[in-house]
Amino acid sequence: MYLTDRRGDMILSGGANIYPAEVEIALSEHPDVVSSAVIGLPDEDLGNRIHAVVQVSKPIGEDELRTFLGERLVRYKVPRSFEFTSEPVRDDAGKVRRSALRDERS
């Protein structure tokens, strides 16, 4: 099985191509994660760093989530930073507006 995403959503981090959909699927496997959006934020060393905006049903720690993802993804695909929210990260149609999320955080 191959996971693909829109080419424009691909994150180039340290020379590696990372598709947000793959990371979001891994995040969705955690029982306390309701929804997520993964974006690339500017980074001087890597070009972009992976940042996850995660809607949770109850508080969870970054370390717990990092460990959980480390069992499902190769190391360079695990987000370097997390932002937790109780607000929906997707619109009513279930779509993520990655460009809007990037603009808000850059």
Task: Determine the structural domain holding residue 46 and report its residue range.
Answer: 7-105
Looking at residue 98, what is its pLDDT? 81
DSSP H stretches of helix in the chain: 20-28, 62-70, 98-105
- Whether 2 maps to a domain, the answer reads no
- What are the distances in angstroms from CA 58 to CA 31, 47, 85, 91? 10, 33, 10, 21
Domain count, the chain: 1
The enclosing domain of 85 has a CATH number of 3.30.300.30
Answer yes or no: is 31 within a domain: yes
Q: What is the pTM of this model?
A: 0.88
Report d(CA 45, CA 74) in Å as an integer: 19
Cα–Cα distance for residue pair 103/59, rounded to 1 Å: 26
Domain assignment present for 92: yes
Asked if residue 35 belongs to a domain, the reply is: yes
Query: Could you tell me which of 51, 52, 18, 19 has the C-alpha nearest to residue 36?
Result: 52
User: pLDDT truncated to tens, each residue of the chain (106 aa)?
Assistant: 555 556 778 999 999 999 999 999 999 999 999 999 999 999 999 899 999 999 999 999 999 999 999 999 999 999 999 999 988 888 888 888 887 888 888 7
